[in-house]
Structure 1
Amino acid sequence: MTDSVDDAEEYDVIVIGGGPAGENAASYAIAGSERTAALIEHELVGGECSYWACMPSKALLRPGEVLGAARNMAGVSAGALDPQAVLARRDSFTNNHDDSSQVMWADAQGIEVIRGAACLTGERTVTVGGSRRIRARQAVVVATGTTAAIPDTPGLRAALPWASRDATNLREVPRRVAVIGGGVVACESASWLLDLGVEELTMVVRGRGLLAKNEPFAGKLVAEGLEKKGARLLFGADLRGVERPDPQDTGVGRIHGGPATLDVAGQDPFEVDEIVVATGRTPATSGLGVDPRLLDARGYLPTDDHMTTPDGWLYAVGDVNGRALLTHMGKYQARVCGDVIAARAEGRPLDGSRYSASADHGQVPQVVFSDPEVAAVGITEKEARDSGVDVETVEVDIAVAGSSLSRDDFGGHAKLVVDRGSDTLLGATFAGTDVAELVHAATVAVVGRVPLDALWHAVPSYPTVSEVWLRLLEARR
């Protein structure tokens, strides 16, 4: 990197990446002060979450959830989804990829939006679009996220498969689909594709189950739910190759050419109209000019709990640091980061807990919006035991008055992982209809290290699904 900054414009804080994490970092770093911030974005302000991930995916999933509830409620008549209406509603949540409202928000916060690709070209110095040079007085924050990874399977890349952006921004519904992968994106994509009318859907999963990072029962219930909708699940599957004689770059969310044939070991070759690849993410650090010594072996930019890299002026928040690839965790890290930058700029100590991102360590909540939903926080039983922690577990089916009133076919399961020594919760997992709203109570208990005896006095309202907390405590008496 060069270090000539004579012609550089100056800001107090420069943030590379205009997604939710970048927006939060910039806002918190200058809040209530005269400090200035620049937010650099080469695509859309609002980032992956707003246009290609969280918002469109949940907009696609919710109609199917409502339809499922209606079909399993006596006295309610339900037909089928209108795919074009569902897609139109999704587009309303992504503002048809118009980020003007996000830019207006940034302007109102005193953040200047700069369009273009950014590259670090010196200490606290960034070049945008190859020519515009800007310099940070205090800090540079990298918030560039990740991109979808495509495996090196023979013929797969040449087939121009759908990645996550295509699946969330689909414009036409293929009749036959193969989903490669068994994680969150794969399960959610399979759910809405089936809801929208895909006739044949095959999941090609290398592992022995879905959602391998969760408690095993969660993946089992999701697999049963997908099979009930008509999915074919191939576990322990070795995808040996893909052939697509007529691939075409028809645009995001459109079928990319003619049919493709998949060769999976132990299976007869089968043909699909589109392939969805959901096999992980790659950090977006290539071309950023980051000192290679700061990157780990996978290309992520690790930080300490102040979100700082070994170069004290350089910070990283969100997926790009590899700590927890979730929007809400990126925003959490960004709040910590912004507060740290502000405190350092004003010469204040970093003594308070708000200046340290502790939740990244075993206290991360996540919801998989599949059918059924999976909501979890903290660590699993296996993770606890592998770490040498003496734990006990409590499991019950979710069968309470609130769940039976929720829908006629309600089914679900819950599990707690408890530290015997401190009698506190280390992890909790819920799988079932609408269990997403259960996880925050568990998160508070995990983060607050609330003794389980104290939870007897957190009385669940009747009749709600939260009554399962009482059943879990009773199972442990």
Structure 2
Amino acid sequence: MNDTSRTYDVVVIGAGPVGENVADRTRAAGLSTVIVESELLGGECSYWACEPSKALLRPVLARADARRVPGLRKAVEGPLDVPAVLAHRDDIVFHWHDEDQVAWLDSIDVALVRGHGRLDGPRQVVVTTPDGDTVRLSARHAVAVCTGTGAALPDIPGLAEARPWTSREITSAKAVPGRLVVVGGGVVAVEMATAWRALGSEVTMLVRGSGLLPGREPFAGELVAEGLREAGVDLRLGTAVASVARDGGPDGEVRVTLGDGDQLVADEILFAVGRAPRTEDIGLETVGLTPGDWLKVDPTFRVSAVEDGWLYAVGDVNHIVLMTHQGKYQARIAGAVIGARANGEPVDESRWGRHVATADSEAVPQVVFTDPEVATVGLTAQEAEREGRRVRVVDNDFRSVAGAVQYAEGFRGQARMVVDLDRGTVVGATFVGPGVAELLYSATVAVVSEVPVERLWHAVPAFPTVSEVWLRLLETYRG
């Protein structure tokens, strides 16, 4: 076994999108930076989540849109070309190789140490390499934990032995299971039910709650549920799983016993019921923290319970917003903060300042790639009222929008704008319908910029486009 020691200004643990962006920003600030990764550079999002899942969903949604266009329906009749879809997914994830990511790190002069990194006291990280060697890394200024999350599995009898699928297995599967049970009603569950039903699986969804997509406007989950059922998904709400067993060896059937005693049999079962922080084996105990915990941070992403402010936690591990784009946003800010402090520059912690992630609480955008799509940003009506705001909720059915009629025959969907009456600004927006993801950035800009509703009246949408829904919402608001 060989031991080496190296010193850098910044050590980043985890080379997913978040860690890469922290390293990019600290390097841009002139700080020597090393990044530690035990798997593939690019992390969960690039290989087992966002990228492969959208590669699976894109042909599904494109075909759904085409089927709504008169004159085009017959051209897209028949099943999807499953081998072509899976091959495209494999291309998107570079066949689970990370040479391009390594080349990018080299291009920005960030060092890489492959292996499992663990904290070993203040500003110290020990890496065990795949060859069994040990590399000790010392940080002059900061260590950033960017290890993300993994799928959380509930404590259900027989589950571990049944080898359930998580988001990793479902996005990297090499073949279509004939019968697939999906447990959960959140984003991963509804997206993967959409994709694999279209690819040929008989899908049964088991949802403990009373609806899909909790935390969003209720109509979003209702319209997605309607779309799933129309696609042939057996959606069962208010249903709990009591136990799981796999019969007949590794390739045997999965037997699912429900809370009411009924049983289902499937080829595979996906559990998509939440995420857990990847902090259980990164040496938190050496700096006075509890392994496996979420890491609480101050507004500049320093871990609150660690003295001297050298430890940062960025992205999913801080449990603020568990989304890739928001983690990258945090990373850009955290990297700039680390650079400013290391270089003796002032830190701007004002609202919407360059060193505070204000959007984490006020303007988080998200798209759910189902049929219909769901696009949201900012507060729901319930969240705004819970905060004590005086709000007005404005709804519009897309059938009154000429651009939506042009987009697809029978375009079905709904839009909602939440207006803060005291400030006269939009604080939240939700769009549900085909292709509404492309409406989201305009809504995000409106919320972040705090544009007065009266000024939005002068932002004229082109005719005939789906974005005319903004005009319909504003017309309703003005009365």
Query: Which runs of 5 or more residues in structure 2 are unaligned?
Result: none
For residues 34-113 of structure 1, the aligned pairs below 5 Å read: 35-76=31-72, 77-79=75-77, 80-113=79-112
8 A contact 2:359–2:448 mirrored in 1: yes
The residue number in structure 1 matching 2:460 is: 459
Alpha-carbon distance between aligned partners in 1 of 2:149 and 2:348, rounded to the nearest angstrom: 32
For residues 156-305 of structure 1, the aligned pairs below 5 Å read: 156-198=159-201, 200-248=202-250, 257-266=251-260, 268-291=262-285, 299-305=293-299
- The two structures have a TM-score, normalised by structure 1, of 0.94
8 A contact 2:278–2:292 mirrored in 1: no
Q: CA deviation at 1:298?
A: 7.2
Alpha-carbon distance between aligned partners in 1 of 2:291 and 2:426, rounded to the nearest angstrom: 33
Q: CA deviation at 1:296?
A: 8.1
Alpha-carbon distance between aligned partners in 2 of 1:63 and 1:363, rounded to the nearest angstrom: 29
Which has the larger displacement, 68-77 or 454-463? 68-77
Alpha-carbon distance between aligned partners in 2 of 1:296 and 1:381, rounded to the nearest angstrom: 37
Tell me the SS of whatever aligns to 1:476.
helix
For residues 331-346 of structure 1, the aligned pairs below 5 Å read: 331-346=328-343
Alpha-carbon distance between aligned partners in 2 of 1:242 and 1:113, rounded to the nearest angstrom: 41
1:200-231 CA-partner distances (Å, limit 9, x unpaired):
21100010000011100000000000001000
Q: CA deviation at 1:23?
A: 0.3
Tell me the SS of whatever aligns to 1:330.
helix
With over 3 angstroms needed to count, the CA separation of the structure-2 counterparts of 1:37 and 1:419, relative to structure 1, is same
Tell me the SS of whatever aligns to 1:361.
helix
Alpha-carbon distance between aligned partners in 1 of 2:246 and 2:266, rounded to the nearest angstrom: 10
Alpha-carbon distance between aligned partners in 2 of 1:367 and 1:168, rounded to the nearest angstrom: 18
Which has the larger displacement, 124-133 or 227-236? 124-133
Tell me the SS of whatever aligns to 1:305.
coil
Residue identity in the other structure for 1:18: A
Q: Which runs of structure 1 show a deviation greater than 2 angstroms over 4 or more consecutive aligned residues?
A: 265-268, 291-298
1:122-143 CA-partner distances (Å, limit 9, x unpaired):
2111000072101011110000
Q: CA deviation at 1:263?
A: 1.6
In the alignment, is residue 406 of structure 1 matched against residue 407 of structure 2?
yes
Residue identity in the other structure for 1:358: T
Q: CA deviation at 1:295?
A: 5.6
The residue number in structure 2 matching 1:351 is: 348
Residue identity in the other structure for 1:241: S
Alpha-carbon distance between aligned partners in 2 of 1:296 and 1:440, rounded to the nearest angstrom: 39
Which has the larger displacement, 73-82 or 316-325? 73-82
Q: CA deviation at 1:156?
A: 1.8
The residue number in structure 2 matching 1:367 is: 367
With over 3 angstroms needed to count, the CA separation of the structure-2 counterparts of 1:61 and 1:363, relative to structure 1, is same
Residue identity in the other structure for 1:88: A
Tell me the SS of whatever aligns to 1:426.
strand
Q: CA deviation at 1:293?
A: 8.2
Q: CA deviation at 1:387?
A: 2.0
Q: CA RMSD for the aligned pairs? A: 1.6
Alpha-carbon distance between aligned partners in 1 of 2:374 and 2:182, rounded to the nearest angstrom: 19
The residue number in structure 2 matching 1:390 is: 390
Tell me the SS of whatever aligns to 1:275.
strand
With over 3 angstroms needed to count, the CA separation of the structure-2 counterparts of 1:394 and 1:342, relative to structure 1, is same
Tell me the SS of whatever aligns to 2:76.
coil
Q: CA deviation at 1:15?
A: 0.4
Alpha-carbon distance between aligned partners in 2 of 1:325 and 1:294, rounded to the nearest angstrom: 25
Residue identity in the other structure for 2:61: E
- The two structures have a TM-score, normalised by structure 2, of 0.94
Q: CA deviation at 1:30?
A: 1.4
Which has the larger displacement, 259-268 or 408-417? 259-268
The residue number in structure 2 matching 1:318 is: 315
Pick from 30, 38, 44 the counterpart of residue 27 of structure 2.
30
With over 3 angstroms needed to count, the CA separation of the structure-2 counterparts of 1:356 and 1:32, relative to structure 1, is closer
The residue number in structure 2 matching 1:251 is: none
Tell me the SS of whatever aligns to 2:439.
helix
Residue identity in the other structure for 1:205: V
1:339-367 CA-partner distances (Å, limit 9, x unpaired):
01111111110127111111111311111
The residue number in structure 2 matching 1:3 is: none
The residue number in structure 1 matching 2:473 is: 472
8 A contact 1:160–1:247 mirrored in 2: no
8 A contact 1:181–1:279 mirrored in 2: yes
Alpha-carbon distance between aligned partners in 2 of 1:52 and 1:464, rounded to the nearest angstrom: 34
Alpha-carbon distance between aligned partners in 2 of 1:437 and 1:304, rounded to the nearest angstrom: 33
With over 3 angstroms needed to count, the CA separation of the structure-2 counterparts of 1:329 and 1:292, relative to structure 1, is farther
Q: CA deviation at 1:266?
A: 3.6
Which has the larger displacement, 207-216 or 350-359? 350-359
With over 3 angstroms needed to count, the CA separation of the structure-2 counterparts of 1:296 and 1:401, relative to structure 1, is farther
8 A contact 2:186–2:272 mirrored in 1: yes
Residue identity in the other structure for 1:174: P
For residues 1-40 of structure 1, the aligned pairs below 5 Å read: 8-31=5-28, 33=30, 35-40=31-36
Alpha-carbon distance between aligned partners in 2 of 1:237 and 1:463, rounded to the nearest angstrom: 43
Tell me the SS of whatever aligns to 1:246.
coil
Alpha-carbon distance between aligned partners in 2 of 1:430 and 1:74, rounded to the nearest angstrom: 24
